[in-house]
Amino acid sequence: MRLLLLRHGQTPSNVEGLLDTAHPGPGLTRLGERQAAAVPAALRGRQIDAIAVSSLVRTSLTAAPLAQERGIEPQVLDGLREIDAGELEMAGAHEAHLRYLDTVFGWARGDVGRAMPGGPDGRAFLSRYDDAVAQLAAQGLESVLVVSHGAAIRAWAAARAADVDVDHAERTPLANTGLVEVEGDPVGGWRLKAWNADPAGGPELAAPAADDPTGEPVEP
């Protein structure tokens, strides 16, 4: 089974550098809408048997153009939502961003008992994301597009897929509609096939560099 893990399109909170992880979350900016509109052409010719989105509205909006073109009704799986920021929710301070990322990639390095301040620990995050992926795998599908979130995609892939270097995952930007591809299954494990940092529609759809902790890397 191949999972195409696509980050959602740009939101106002991405632009403002806010840790916005709560339900239902913001919609897309005009750039985010253009990024979403470019996904069908970017994935033309790729096999997609199903589309899954998180319970946060930005993923459904991002998936909509492709879902309409392919005639596929997206599955909503709450486990694919962004990593809860806990007490850091809506924080815009650089120090809060660093604490969020340090916690998230600590989980990928094996420190799963560490908790986000006022939020979940790594076991809780990985368990609910693993469960969502297992639900997709149980359907016997060959290729699934999963529209999810920057920190969740990077942390899950770094923790679960072979050939992903955690330091690289922490340093490497995943722009809005950036795509990480893994192949395998929940029993035999996952292997990294591609890490495409630019927007699916090409680098011309990238936003200017921003202090965006759920996607772009944050410089110390």
Report pLDDT for 209: 57
Percent with pLDDT over 70 in the chain? 95
* Continuous H helices in 93-121: 94-108
What are 87-104's pLDDT values in tens digits? 999 999 999 999 999 999
User: Is 217's pLDDT higher than 80?
Assistant: no
| Nearest-10 crossing angle of helices 30-42, 57-70 | 40
Cα(147)–Cα(60) distance, rounded to whole angstroms? 8
* Averaged pLDDT of the chain: 95
Report pLDDT for 172: 84
Pick the CATH number of 2-85+113-205 from 3.40.50.1240, 3.30.70.260, 3.90.480.10, 1.10.8.50: 3.40.50.1240
CA angle, 203 then 213 then 91, to 5°: 140
In whole angstroms, how far apart are CA 36 and each of 9, 136, 189, 205? Answer: 6, 22, 30, 10
Whether the pTM exceeds 0.85: the reply is: yes
82 is catalytic: yes
Those residues whose C-beta lies under 8 Å from the C-beta of residue 34, and which sit 6 or more positions away, are 9, 201, 205
73 is catalytic: no
Report pLDDT for 219: 47
CA angle, 157 then 9 then 204, to 5°: 100
Q: Compute the average pLDDT of residues 137-155.
A: 98
What are 49-78's pLDDT values in tens digits? 999 999 999 999 999 999 999 999 999 999
Report pLDDT for 208: 72
What are 30-55's pLDDT values in tens digits? 999 999 999 999 999 999 999 999 99
Give the SS3 label for residue 144: strand
Report pLDDT for 207: 82
| DSSP letter, residue 36 | H
Catalytic residue among 23, 82, 89, 95: 82
